[in-house]
Amino acid sequence: MKWMLVVLVGGVSPVNTDLVFDKFSDCLAAEEQMRQHYADAFETWDRIGSCKD
């Protein structure tokens, strides 16, 4: 079985990533990495925004 990673933007809008994995554990690991990159990007954006005020 193949596993495809789909993310929810804003918790409601599914976005297909076109990432396909042979193992579910690999799919979960990719999701965790994407979640961390998103959090890092948001924190950077938030920090930059607060410096402008």
Where are the domains positioned within the chain?
3-52
Give me the pLDDT at residue 7, please. 85
Whether residue 14 contacts residue 8, with contact meaning beta carbons closer than 8 Å, is answered with: yes
- Does the structure show a pLDDT above 80 at 8? yes
Q: Which residue would you say has higher pLDDT here, 18 or 52?
A: 18
Give me the pLDDT at residue 10, please. 78
Residue 52: pLDDT band (50, 70, 90) is low
Q: What is the per-residue pLDDT across 33-44, written as a single tens digit (0 to 9) for each? A: 988 998 999 999
Question: How high is the mean pLDDT of the chain?
Answer: 89
Pair of tokens at residue 37: 């990159």
> Rounded to whole angstroms, what are the CA distances from 23 to 4, 11, 31, 49?
10, 24, 13, 39
What is the 3 state secondary structure string of 5-53? EEEEECCCEEEEEEEEECCHHHHHHHHHHHHHHHHHHHHHHHHHHHHHC
